[in-house]
Amino acid sequence: MAATLRQVAGRAGVDASTVSRVLRADPALAVRPETRERILTAARELNYRPNAAALSLKLRQTHTLGMLVPDITNPIFPGIFRGVEATAAAAGYRVILVNTDEARDRESLFVDLLTEKRVDGLILATALTDDKTVAALREGGYPFVLVNRRMPGLNERYVSADDEAGARLATEHLIRLGHRRIAHISGPLFTDTGLRRLKAYRECLHNHGIPFESAYVVEGDFREPTGQAAMQHLLELPQPPTAVFCANDLTAIGAMSALRQRGLRLPEDLSLVGFNDLPWTEHLQPPLTTVHVPLPEMGALACTMLLQLLAGVPLQPVAIVVPVRLMERGSTAPPRREGDGR
């Protein structure tokens, strides 16, 4: 049996009316942060689901959010979506998930749905460096938040990982191990995520006195096949790299496939670092050194930000950059000494 509003109130130790106003993000409600968190925790633990139909009639809202992702087969997006959905449910909202495959026409279709008021707001994981969809939303005054992406000129309404710090952690780790021929398989450079990780990699090399070699950078698309093709290309160079920083874990998986096809071993023949720390990366052989990103937390923060916009609450903060950390595992080691062969 579903939990009631009174049961949530009883667990949180507050009145039912306070629970109701917190869960619908009432901007006129003055409540201490610890009380708000206690109510949200109680709602999650009891799996409370408000009556969406009644709320819609009362508030003239659909209590439905939309989330756009560029590739549902990429495991980072289900991780982010879990955080979005849990936070939305606690506030009485449902979430519609749309896979765009980076197609502008699919994005435009969903914007049309928004203008028809079928969803109250959008969470976008699809923004490009020059995104007409985001521009249209801004001009139309529609509520939206970016997650895992940023856009030039938009200094608010986003939740993203600290991509620059993560790229520095990955590159500096390889430098500390003694590597100097460090390649980078980037993400698509029409996304700011790919651009910022590449930029930080270049800056890190420069700061350590290592010349940047354009031949050591291959643009990918965050997917396994391009990671495999990029690694095959790097291994054909006159002086192949001794280490590779991949823009995400899927790219690293593709790179590992190329190494196995060549009969090369990690980390004896080459060191490899990924990005995101997907749940299964620690179970690979060898376990993948990677940058940990708290994906569900990012989704929860993005949803909270959107709910604040819908409630007319001033954003505090207006943008969030989530800290990351390096997970050192078995895919990295010092390079072979000259003369040991490759």
The answer to whether residue 330 sits within a structural domain is no
CATH number, domain of 40, equals 1.10.260.40
Can you tell me whether residue 183 is helix, strand or coil?
Answer: strand
**How far is the C-alpha of 232 from the C-alpha of 255, rounded, in Å?**
8
CATH number, domain of 224, equals 3.40.50.2300
The answer to whether residue 241 sits within a structural domain is yes
**How far is the C-alpha of 305 from the C-alpha of 124, rounded, in Å?**
12
| Torsion angles phi and psi, residue 334, rounded to 5 | -60, 150
In the predicted model, is pLDDT for residue 81 greater than 70?
Answer: yes
Summarised one tens digit per residue, pLDDT across range 131-184 is 777 887 887 788 999 999 988 888 899 999 999 999 999 999 999 999 999 999
**How far is the C-alpha of 214 from the C-alpha of 174, rounded, in Å?**
18
In the predicted model, is pLDDT for residue 67 greater than 70?
Answer: yes
- What domain range includes position 40? 1-49
The answer to whether residue 35 sits within a structural domain is yes
| Torsion angles phi and psi, residue 17, rounded to 5 | -65, -35
Task: Identify whether the C-beta of residue 122 lies closer than 8 Å to the C-beta of residue 98.
Answer: no
Q: Which of 252, 272, 292 is the last residue of a domain?
A: 292
Task: Identify whether the C-beta of residue 183 lies closer than 8 Å to the C-beta of residue 243.
Answer: yes
In the predicted model, is pLDDT for residue 59 greater than 70?
Answer: no
Q: Please name every residue paired with 98 in a beta bridge, in sequence order, or none if there are none.
A: 68
CA-based nearest residue to 225, from 190, 270, 256, 191: 256
Q: Quickly state the pLDDT bin for 56 (edges 50, 70, 90).
A: very low
**Average pLDDT, whole number, for the chain?**
88
pLDDT at 338: 61
pLDDT at 58: 43
The answer to whether residue 185 sits within a structural domain is yes
Q: Is 210 exposed, middle or buried (0-12, 13-18, 19+ CB in 10 A)?
A: middle
Mean local confidence (pLDDT), 190-206: 95
pLDDT at 24: 63
Mean local confidence (pLDDT), 82-109: 86
Cα 269 to chain centroid, rounded:
31
Does the N-terminal peptide bond of residue 334 adopt cis geometry, omega within 30 degrees of 0?
no
Kindly give the pairing relationship between strand 290-292 and strand 325-327.
antiparallel
Q: Which positions ≥6 away from 127 have C-beta within 8 Å?
A: 133, 134, 146, 149, 150, 151, 191, 192
Does the N-terminal peptide bond of residue 50 adopt cis geometry, omega within 30 degrees of 0?
no
**How far is the C-alpha of 97 from the C-alpha of 179, rounded, in Å?**
42
- The pTM score is 0.79
The answer to whether residue 141 sits within a structural domain is no
pLDDT at 221: 93
Element (H, E) at 327: strand 325-327
Structural domain count, the chain: 2
The answer to whether residue 280 sits within a structural domain is yes
Q: Is 137 exposed, middle or buried (0-12, 13-18, 19+ CB in 10 A)?
A: buried
The H-assigned helical ranges of the chain are: 5-12, 16-23, 33-45, 52-59, 76-90, 104-115, 132-140, 163-176, 192-207, 224-235, 249-261, 295-311
The answer to whether residue 9 sits within a structural domain is yes
Q: Which amino acid is at 138?
A: R
Q: Which of 273, 292, 311 is the last residue of a domain?
A: 292
Q: Which of 10, 32, 49 is the last residue of a domain?
A: 49
Can you tell me whether residue 121 is helix, strand or coil?
Answer: strand
The answer to whether residue 157 sits within a structural domain is no
